[in-house]
Structure 1
Amino acid sequence: MGELPRRVLSALVVAPPAVLAVWAGAPYFGALVLAAVLILAWEWDRMCDGRFGPAGIVLALSVAAAAVLAWLSAWTWGLAAAAAGFGAVLAVERLARGKAAFWAAFGALYIGVPAVAILWLRDDPVAGRASVLWLIAVTAATDIGAYFSGRAVGGPKLAPRVSPGKTWAGLLGGVVAAGAAGAAGGWLMDGSLGVLAGAGVMLAFVGQAGDLFESAAKRRFGRKDMSGLIPGHGGLFDRVDGLVIVILAVAAATLLIGAPVVQW
């Protein structure tokens, strides 16, 4: 089976349960986030240390605690658990003379804070479901648009030293697709098409930056994929690298504006 059929088949298996969990809300969405952060912690520690060791266990426990506390609407305590995890993983890595102590510890924040943020966004009783589905749709559209336009057009590389496969054409395709997805979400939810299209465009750049950040991290540790968990895609982190940063951006904007994204 070629790469594209594997990617499509994997997406058809993974995406529907995730969307249903977002739609259903608690407790299903909380369970989904908890399972996701445990997988992400496993992948992150394997990248940093070459195996899942004591620091990885501490990392997994800390991000799981952050997710569970956020699931219980204890947002501040969830963020505190992620911050405490950073210190705990750093201490374990230093005791074990780990060569990537900061990177390993950073995983507690990189995984834990977005987990708290997306649970907080979904908790809105009026617009939580729509907001989370919208940001996922925009991020997915960015990835799909970038993939197909990059393959079809090719051309100059976006960041050849970090991610040789990414092109400027792919970036443009992702931006256009994200803008269209943002506007479509606005139309479906009676929001402002112009505002949400613009938000989609901006989040496309944010998501691509998150993608490049993880590519740089993998390159530092000599890895192509975070794992082989999802055929055709690599690991879970390889699929949500843009999403984790988009979640943070949407949560921050929601706090600043004082309204959920679909009401901007």
Structure 2
Amino acid sequence: MAADWDDLKVRLTSGAWMAVIGIGAIIVGGVWFQMLAIFVTAVMVWECWIMIRGASPTSGMLLAAAVASILSAQVFGGAQNYEFLVLFLVVPIIGAAVLKRERITFFIFSLGVQIAGYGLVHFRIDFGFTWLIWLVSIVVVTDIAGYFVGKSIGGPKFWPSISPKKTWSGTIGGWIGAALVGVTFVMLTDASWTIILLSVVMSFAGQMGDIAESALKRRQGVKDSSTLIPGHGGLFDRFDALLGASLFMLLFASVFDVPGVAF
């Protein structure tokens, strides 16, 4: 059983460094957070490309550079209107045209990653520091609670054909952890009790982002999106849940008024 915990030290060390960099960028905000979001988004599109392995890594780097350029133009050019999102189709279309396989897969994932990255930048600009800390806290606590509860209790698998290691106990543990995040923000901010339910929903959206990336890796026969982060794999492996939560919240905030998130 001890072998199940062998990766814990490496995971915690890498996770601590990522937390310091990420939280620092969120606190400082402005150009620092924007540049970090642009960099992470571009790298994840590159990782998606190399997982598919349908063309040369150099082509993937060029596409990543294009993602960074397009997102930078939108962020630093002040383009916040939804019509500018059409520019996010450029890289997916070019990539799909170049690839000889998995064209639709690359199109969907690269488009989703870009929109999620765009959403995170403008969540920080439009809603502020506290809101983004709430979102990130849900994703982090869901992951930590799910990891420890799943390892400790085990039990039936959540979706064995896609993610063999994930259990229902870990999944529910993540929901409980997210609910506690919501309770904490109710106590410390002006948020209403609605935030607790929304926290659980956001936790599930993040888990679905994780499942989607697991399905991609399983389809491509790879263990990790890359080897950039010791103990965690690649940036896509680490931020897949945040992408899922960001996409869901971007859709939700576009359709509904959510007074319970007004910290």
**TM-score by shorter chain over 0.5:** yes
Shift, 1:186, TM fit: 2.8
**What is aligned with 1:251?**
250
8 A contact 2:54–2:101 mirrored in 1: no
Alignment of 1:68-147 (within 5 A): 68-72=72-76, 73-75=78-80, 76=82, 78-93=84-99, 98-124=100-126, 127-147=127-147
1:164 aligned counterpart, secondary structure:
strand
**What is aligned with 1:19?**
23
Query: What amino acid is the match of 1:88?
Result: I
Shift, 1:229, TM fit: 1.2
Shift, 1:77, TM fit: 5.9
Alignment of 1:149-168 (within 5 A): 149-168=149-168
Query: What amino acid is the match of 2:86?
Result: A
Shift, 1:67, TM fit: 2.1
TM-score by length of 2: 0.90
Deviates more, 1:169-178 or 1:111-120: 111-120
Higher relative contact order (CA 8 A, sep 6+): 2
Query: What amino acid is the match of 1:68?
Result: S
- Distance between the aligned counterparts of 2:260 and 2:91, measured in 1? 30
- Distance between the aligned counterparts of 1:184 and 1:250, measured in 2? 20
**What is aligned with 1:229?**
228
**What is aligned with 2:37?**
33
Alignment of 1:209-220 (within 5 A): 209-220=208-219
Shift, 1:259, TM fit: 5.0
- Distance between the aligned counterparts of 1:11 and 1:260, measured in 2? 32
Identity of aligned residues (%): 32
Note the alpha carbon deviations across 1:121-148, whole angstroms, 9 max, x for none: 1112xx3211111101001111111100
2:30 aligned counterpart, secondary structure:
coil
Query: What amino acid is the match of 1:90?
Result: A
- Distance between the aligned counterparts of 2:136 and 2:62, measured in 1? 29
Deviates more, 1:234-243 or 1:146-155: 234-243
Distance 1:62 1:106, change over 3 A: farther
Shift, 1:101, TM fit: 1.9
1:219 aligned counterpart, secondary structure:
helix
Shift, 1:169, TM fit: 0.3
- Distance between the aligned counterparts of 2:133 and 2:168, measured in 1? 27
Q: CA RMSD in A?
A: 2.0
Shift, 1:185, TM fit: 2.2
Structure 2, unpaired ranges of 5+: none
- Distance between the aligned counterparts of 2:229 and 2:173, measured in 1? 24
- Number of positions where the alignment pairs a residue of Structure 1 with one of Structure 2: 257
